[in-house]
Every structure is written in structure tokens, then in C-alpha cells.
Structure 1
Amino acid sequence: MSVEVDVLLQEAKESIEAAQNYRHELQQRLHGLSQARKQVRGSSGQARETLRRHFTELQAAATRLLNERLAALLAEVDAVEADSVRPLDDCQSLIEHGIGQADELLREGEAALRCGLGEKEDKLGSFTKKAMHIQLDSLPEVPALVDVPNVSAQLDDSLLGVFRDRVSRHGAVSSHPPVQIGELQERPGGIMVRWCKVDEDFAAADYRLQYRRSASGGQQYEDAYIGRDSEFLVLHLDPHVDYLFRVCARGEGRTEWSPWSVPQTGDTTLAPHEWRPGSEGYILSSRRNIALRSDSAHSRCPTLFSRAPTYFCGQTLTFKISAVGQLDRRDSLGVCIDTHKGAESLQRDQAVCISTNGAVFVNGKEMTNQLPAVAVGSAVTFDMEVVHPLPISNNNLSDGFKLRVTIGSGNREVVFDWLVDQEVDSLFFGCSFVHSGWKVLVF
């Protein structure tokens, strides 16, 4: 009986635990549903506010433009009226002056006719001379109505139709942005952001990636990338800090950007790659991720190593060349298990590297495969993965470790297995240049 009770008790405990897990999962889904509803409600509210603000601004701008155009047309009417009326006013003044002279002449003539015989001859003579002087047969010319302006306004009624058509197609509402962030992958001191189209009918000409600190409050997003690629490595990020990323797109032949994608949160736990400060013959940038080979008057070729073994298998290590100097066969870029002070090159044991002429060296031996020579703008990449430990010998210890190495440069790459003496957790990276002028960024 006690066994049956124990079984029932165990089954009850398992049922209770299953019910707790079930309730927890349902609560998680309820929270996710709440977040989804919050996104729909919030984005809808933002869309309404955007539409209202935009159309209010359009209405104000349209009213301002129409008023400005009306004022300009009325000014044109005023100018035509003033220019046209001026000669008519001059003609009117001339006619009114003639009428005044004729009235005065009439009064003098009538007075001469009424005067006595003693002064009639003098009065009539004076009147006749004055009449001849006024030239009563000379009349000013008054322009015909067809010769003076008849001001009118020509208005194209089709403007309202065009305006109605454009307004009816102005703006759009979409339930999903045409592009979304698909992956955030941490890198040393940065995050690789990849995105993809979710609207296959949208022909994207350019993408725009922005980011900001997640806990930055009102801080604005800043542009990280604008171009045609669908991925970008955002560098110079602080480790263990959340960042928000968003992306949008611009259609072919369009100037406006699409709506932003749903912001995604990402962070990196990996410290940024840094060159070792204080190394002879090299000048470092403030972030210590850029190294410049300085004066090389002396013949020694010191190798510059990383500050720490920060390269881990499974990552991609990239060297970006931004300036070049004179080539030398000892020049090299690569990774190594340990560092040796005063080493002249990475072309040595326990290291793999590529020379600036494209030769690949494994443990100091040159391979037959060769990559393109390094030039300004070249990006050299190293990818490594653990293949498996080598067979265990009689002393029950592994005789070594094998790493699958892929080195890429230009549009070519070489793949080979690198045997190391011990299990490798992380690696140093380094470079060596005989002559000055070389400048390399690592990330």
C-alpha cells in the first residue's frame, strides 16, 4: 500500500511540476501576446500621429503656396492696370484742358458779340486771333477699345484634377516594413548585423542601418551604413552594453526611405581586438585597432602582436589595409599561438600568415597555393575551426590538435589544416612590415 502511495505521490509531484511549467509557458506566451498588442497599438498610434502631422504641414504649405501665387497674379493685374491707365489719364488731361480752353473761348466770343459798336471791332479781332491760336480743328486721338488692354485671368481647371489624383495616391499605410533585421552576431568590439527583405515585391536600391544605445533615453539613432549590401559590421561598440538596431530601404528610382524595421537589441561580450601598445616601430590609433608602421631606417623588422590572445576559433579575423609601403618578402599578417619579443616575422613555427606578396606560410613553410598580393583597400580574413584532437598515443595524452584554417584575400581563399602542439583556446594576431608606410586596421 505504501508503494502505491509513493507512486501516486511521485505522479502528483510530476503533475504539479508539469502544471507549473505549463502555467509558466502560458504566462510567457501571454507576455509575448501583450508585447505584440503593444507593438500594434503603439505603431498604429505613431502612424496616426505621423499622418496627421504630415497632412497638417501639407495643408499649411499648400495654403501658403496658393496665397503666394494669388498675390503674385494680383500684382500682375495691378501692374498691367497701372501701365495701361497711365496713357489714358494723360489723354484725359489733354482733352479736359482743351475743353477748358474751348469754354473760355466761347465766353470771350459771346462777350465780343454783346459789346458795343465802339469796342466790337477790337473784341472780335482779339477773339479771332485767339481762336486761330488754339487750333480748333486739332483733336487728340482716343485709342479704340480693341487697342487697349482688356485684362483677364486664365486658370487651368485641370489643376484640381491633377491635385486630386496626386492626393489620392499620396502616402501609404503598410502593416509590415519591407525589410527586417534577421541576425545580430557578436564580434570583438562590434556586432555583425544582417537583414533581409520581407516584401519580395519591393525593389530595394539602398539600405540604411542605424543604431543607438538601448538605455540612452532620448538619444537619437545614428547612421552606421548606407548602401546596397544586406549586412554590415558595426564596430567601436562597448562590450556588455545593449544596442538597438533598425534598418530601412529605398526603392528603385525613389528618394524617400521606407518605414523602419522593428528595432532589435544586441550586444557583444567580446572585447575589441587591439594592437599591443608600446611596440617599437609602430604608431597606434586611440582605439589601438589601427597600426601604422613608422620610420624603418633601422634594418630590424619587429613584429607587432595583439595586446592579448583575443582571437577565438569560430570567429572571423579581418585585416584591412588602408596604406602600403615598399614590399618585402618578410612582410606578413597572421595569427600565432605565442609571441616572441623581437621576432622578425610571423613566418615561423606555431604561426600561420600571409605575406604581402600573397604567399601563405604554415609553421614557417611556404605553401604552393598563393593569394593575390596585398594592396590598398585589401581585406585579409582568417577563419578557423577545430577539426578534432589527433589520436592519443600510449602515454594517454593527445599528440596535438588540428585546426581547419581558411585565409581569404580578394576573391580567392585557401583552406588547409594546421597542426598545433596543444589544445588552443585563443590565439594572438600580428603583423610585420620591413618598410614604413603600411597601415592596417584589425577587427
Structure 2
Amino acid sequence: MEFDQSNIVEGADGQNAPIERIEELFSLLDLAESQVSSSADKAIKDINAFCDALSAAIEAAIETRKQALTAEVLKAKAEGIAGLKPYREAVGSRLGTINESDANICSALSRPGKRGRSKNTLRIPRKEELPHISVQLPGRALQTKVCNEIMAAGKVSSRGPVQLTFIEEKPGALLLNWEEVDQGRAVDFCQFRLQRAHGDACHNPSLEANFHDIYRGPDASFLAKELIPGDPYTFRVCSRAEGDQEWSAWSLPKVAITRLKHFGWQIDNPNYQVTNDNKIASKISSDPSVLYSCGAQFGPGHSIEFTVLEAKECMSDEGFGLASKKLAGDSLFQTGTLIVNGQGSIFVDGSAKTTKLPALTLGSKVTFTCEEVASDRMRVHIDSDNKTVTYDWRVPAQPLLFVLGFGQVGWKVLVE
């Protein structure tokens, strides 16, 4: 949080600042101090939790390994003693029937290295043949390694090296932008990680458990889709430099809401079945028919993607796109429309353009993005299969309808 100190001093010295403004500044300072204190308290709590968990895990691992090694030693001991049992039994049985011919037993017991004097002589295994149980331990090397790892664990950051800078409402979505704010780090970040939690996690810390990844990649912006209009969502971002294994500290979390309804189709056209929260339209009759969006939802700064979920043979009079108003009849190719037909041809105000996109097939994705050029003109970018075309379309810079029109049964299109 940044403050303009010169304005504060000037206002205070010149006694020109109204009392309401002074009180507002004090409130801002209270919030700033609260953020610093609460974040520090949370950091200390996280440190204690981490150290306690690490200590418990290390103690448990040491105890488990100690018991495992001890069990191996006891097993080796038991096996060694069990191997001597037959010799003890044989010696005991001879002691019960000792005679002159067995006198060699005493000699064998006193001289275990002497063998072969009598076929009745008992031989006790030599020391070299008996188990001599030992254990090989790493000594101080492991202790030093573990201690060094622990001493290097953790890092305190005053703030994350990247911060969310701008969040823009989109239909059923939010466009998030972030940038590097730590100018002292001469690092080119190769990857960003964006997380989202449903709800206001800033005022309800229990919602932090809901954070989950929604984007990982090199871009410094992302369109978070499938949001419930009117519901708050909390976002945070971190980064990782090339070669690093660990992620950086999180940015300051930000709560945002989109009040714009997500893109959807009208549901009152009997020639189409509209499902999935009005996002998917399926052609269910063979009558040519135009299906409209539920209102003029698409405008400057928006991006809309049509995805073909099911397809039939491409026809030249079928397709989808944008319209500035309701159309006369069931033809898409009229003044006030920008259409991509089933064969990939592009029509602006009913006239075909020379540039073509790939034909519509199963899995095709066509994206329309527009920006305002003048009050009566918009620039529309159309992307499909890594090919992009751009047109300056002479229509009022205001929200537009999106439309589709098919005659064959079986087409299914998702819009988002």
C-alpha cells in the first residue's frame, strides 16, 4: 500500500485538508498497520506449524528407522543362535553316553580347529563361520546434511515478487493481470502459478483451504472462466525462476466479483436444445433456423470461443458469428453480421472475404475478440487452429449478439 507523503504534509501544514480527509488518512494507516501486523502474526504461526510438523516427522522417522534396524539385528541374532542349536543338542546327547571312544569330544571342544581324527568327533563351527553382527551407520555426515537442509529451510519475504495489478470483469469470468514488483531481482520468471478460492478468503481465513491452481505458465494474464456472477472469488499468484525448484511467496490476495452474466443461448427456439447452463446448443430439427444469444452480451474487450462438440458435413450456408441486431429471416449472411461458415469462409455484412479459416469439424475452436476503434467501428480478431484474421467492422461500438445457424440435425456447439 502506497501513500503520497507530500500531499499529507502539505495538507496538514496548510490546514487545508478537511477533517474528513484527515480521518480517512488515519483509517488508511490503521488498515496498513493491520495488514502488516496480521500478516506477520500469520507468518509466525506458519513458522511454528512448519517447525512442529517437521520436528514430529523427523522424530517419527528416526524412531521408525531405529526400530527397523533393531529388528534386523534381533533377527540376525536369533538366526545365528538357532544355527548353533543342533550342535548344542548333539553335545548334550554325547554327554549322556560318554565312554572311552568318545573322549575325543573333549579334545574337539578344546581344539575346534582340529578335525578328522574320528568319524564320531563333533565339530563346532569356527569363529569365522559364525555371525558377527554389526551395523553400518553414516556417522556425522547424515547429521550435517540434515542440519544444513534445516538451517536453509524457509525464507521471509516482505511481499511476493509478483502482484496482481488489474482485474477486469468479463461475462461469467474475470481477466486477471499481474506483474513483477520486486525490481531488485534481476530474474526472468519462466513460470507463474495462479490460484483461486471461491469466497472472500481475506476476511474468512478458513477458505484458504479452497485455494487451487487454475493456471501455470509463462503468461502474465489469465481469463478465469465459469464463475458465478455476484459471488466473490479470491485470487493469488506466485512465480518460479528458471532452475528453481520452489515457488516464490504468494502475492497479496485479492477479492473480485463479476456481475456480468456468462455467455449463453436463448432457450425459446424449438429447433435447438440448449443445455449446460445455456452454454451448449444442439440442432434437433432439419428446419433452417438462427439461434441468438440471450441478449447483447459481446462487446469491446470481450473474447468469445465457439467449440464444435458434434459436427456434420460442412455446408456453405451454416455457421456462427456476431450480429449487431436481430436478423430478417433465417439467413446468417446479411448486413450487420460477421460470420464464419461451415467451410471456413468469412462473411462481413454478407460479403465473402478472400481469407479462409479451416473448415468446421469435430473439436474446432473459433475465437472472436474485439476492440473499439471508433464510435462506429470495431476491430474483430478471429482465431482458429493457429490462424488469425482481423477486420475493421463498421458497426456501433456497443454490445453485440452472437448467433449460429444450422440446417442439419446433429450439430452441437459450446460457447464460453
Corresponding letter in the other structure for 2:103 = L
For 1:7-406, what aligned pairs fall within 5 Å after superposition?
19=15, 21-102=17-98, 131=99, 135-137=102-104, 138-157=120-139, 158-198=141-181, 201=187, 203-214=189-200, 217=204, 218-219=206-207, 220-223=209-212, 225-228=214-217, 229-249=219-239, 257-294=247-284, 296=285, 298=286, 300-340=287-327, 343-375=329-361, 376-385=363-372, 387-388=374-375, 402-406=376-380
Task: Say if 1:212 and 1:245, in contact at 8 Å, map to a contact too.
Answer: no
Query: What number of residue pairs does the alignment pair up?
Result: 379
Q: What runs of 5+ residues in structure 1 fail to find an aligned partner?
A: 1-14, 103-130, 389-401
Corresponding letter in the other structure for 1:435 = Q
Query: Secondary structure in 2 aligned to 1:49?
Result: helix
Corresponding letter in the other structure for 2:128 = V
Tell me: CA distance 1:97–1:279, structure 2 relative to 1, closer, same or farther (3 Å).
same
Q: What runs of 5+ residues in structure 2 fail to find an aligned partner?
A: 1-10, 105-119
Tell me: CA distance 1:377–1:136, structure 2 relative to 1, closer, same or farther (3 Å).
same
Query: Secondary structure in 2 aligned to 1:436?
Result: coil
CA distance in 1, matches of 2:189, 2:37: 28
Corresponding letter in the other structure for 1:304 = L
TM-superposed CA distance for 1:304, in Å, is 0.5
Tell me: CA distance 1:314–1:214, structure 2 relative to 1, closer, same or farther (3 Å).
same
Task: Say if 1:329 and 1:355, in contact at 8 Å, map to a contact too.
Answer: yes
TM-superposed CA distance for 1:404, in Å, is 2.6
CA distance in 1, matches of 2:370, 2:331: 21
Tell me: CA distance 1:222–1:165, structure 2 relative to 1, closer, same or farther (3 Å).
closer
Tell me: CA distance 1:92–1:307, structure 2 relative to 1, closer, same or farther (3 Å).
closer
User: Which is helix-richer, 1 or 2?
Assistant: 1
Tell me: CA distance 1:293–1:253, structure 2 relative to 1, closer, same or farther (3 Å).
farther
TM-superposed CA distance for 1:430, in Å, is 0.7
Corresponding letter in the other structure for 1:326 = E
Task: Say if 2:374 and 2:397, in contact at 8 Å, map to a contact too.
Answer: no
Task: Say if 2:265 and 2:278, in contact at 8 Å, map to a contact too.
Answer: yes
Bigger mean CA deviation after superposition, 344-353 or 232-241: 232-241
1:438 matches 2:411: yes
* Alignment correspondent of 2:381: 407
CA deviations over 1:381-401 (Å, ceiling 9, x no partner): 14142624xxxxxxxxxxxxx
CA deviations over 1:146-193 (Å, ceiling 9, x no partner): 332222222211111221222222222222223321221111222112
Q: TM-score scaled by structure 2? A: 0.79
CA distance in 2, matches of 1:164, 1:424: 64
CA deviations over 1:358-415 (Å, ceiling 9, x no partner): 3222222223344444452423214142624xxxxxxxxxxxxx32331312331222
* RMSD, aligned α-carbons: 3.1
Asked which structure has the greater CA Rg, the reply is: 1
TM-superposed CA distance for 1:439, in Å, is 2.9
Q: TM-score scaled by structure 1? A: 0.75
Bigger mean CA deviation after superposition, 61-70 or 197-206: 197-206
| Percentage identity across paired residues of the two chains | 24
